[in-house]
């Protein structure tokens, strides 16, 4: 109940403060690219129920059915020119504040996945991950903040995601649920801001020292230190 009240408070406050930013973004999107303002996609929410996640449009309308599907790579040709800026600054994620206000999401939680990506999580972890509201940010997004670059460095990027990233990301998200509470909620908000300012920081491993260790193939990429 406390977390839900915090979600409503923060999302309402953020939407009020960010309205002046939304107006020019909406105008630019309407006048450039394909003229789309919002992108809506079905994601897996609490209890395994699907909901419509909102973002500012950054990619071609048919992008989920072409190229690498729901996995986005660095320099993905499906990303529109203004979309690159929105994705880099994370402004494209801000419409999810409405999802938080409506109760689909929380400020902090496991990152909401498409059905396809959710189903490559280990089967035993799927009910654990979907037992709470997904988040605008979370431990998984902080650990994998540079996921597009990680995938771009692997020649079989989609297979690498399915076989290496997804299983470990599932472990991280399940761990977050074990430590879920007001302290971890505020810790992840702090870390989210911190890694935006210092993207190479390994602070997450110090704030959450008991996160499962990543596989050897990810340790250097994720700046793992323990």
Consecutive 10-residue averages of pLDDT for the chain (226 residues): 95 94 92 85 96 90 56 66 84 94 97 94 96 96 82 69 93 96 96 90 94 92 86
Are the beta carbons of 162 and 69 closer than 8 angstroms?
no
Contacts of 205 (CB under 8 A, 6+ apart): 211, 223, 224, 225, 226
What's the pLDDT at 150? 72
Cβ–Cβ under 8 Å, residues 95 and 9: no
Considering the entire predicted model, what is its pTM?
0.85
Q: What is the pLDDT of residue 154?
A: 60
The total number of residues shown for the chain amounts to 226
pLDDT at 153: 61
Residue in the block written with tokens 């050897």: 216
């Amino acid at each position: 109940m406390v977390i839900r009240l915090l979600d409503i408070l923060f999302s309402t406050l953020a939407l009020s403060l960010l309205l002046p930013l939304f107006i020019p973004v909406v105008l630019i999107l309407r006048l450039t690219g394909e003229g789309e303002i919002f992108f809506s996609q079905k994601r897996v929410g609490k209890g395994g129920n699907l909901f419509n996640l909102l973002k500012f449009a950054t990619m071609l309308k048919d992008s989920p059915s072409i190229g690498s599907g729901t996995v986005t790579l660095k320099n993905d040709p499906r990303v529109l020119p203004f979309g690159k800026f929105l994705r880099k600054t994370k402004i494209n994620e801000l419409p999810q504040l409405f999802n938080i206000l409506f109760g689909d999401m929380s400020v902090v939680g496991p990152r909401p996945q498409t059905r396809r990506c959710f189903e490559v999580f280990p089967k035993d972890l799927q009910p654990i991950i979907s037992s709470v509201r997904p988040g605008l940010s979370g431990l998984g997004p902080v650990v994998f903040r540079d996921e597009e670059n990680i995938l771009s460095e692997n020649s079989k990027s989609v297979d690498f995601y399915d076989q290496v990233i997804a299983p470990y990301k599932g472990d991280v998200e399940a761990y977050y649920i074990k430590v879920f509470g007001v302290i971890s909620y505020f810790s992840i908000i702090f870390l989210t801001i911190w890694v935006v300012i210092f993207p190479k920081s390994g602070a997450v491993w110090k704030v959450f020292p008991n996160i499962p260790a990543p596989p050897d193939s990810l340790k250097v990429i994720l700046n793992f230190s323990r």
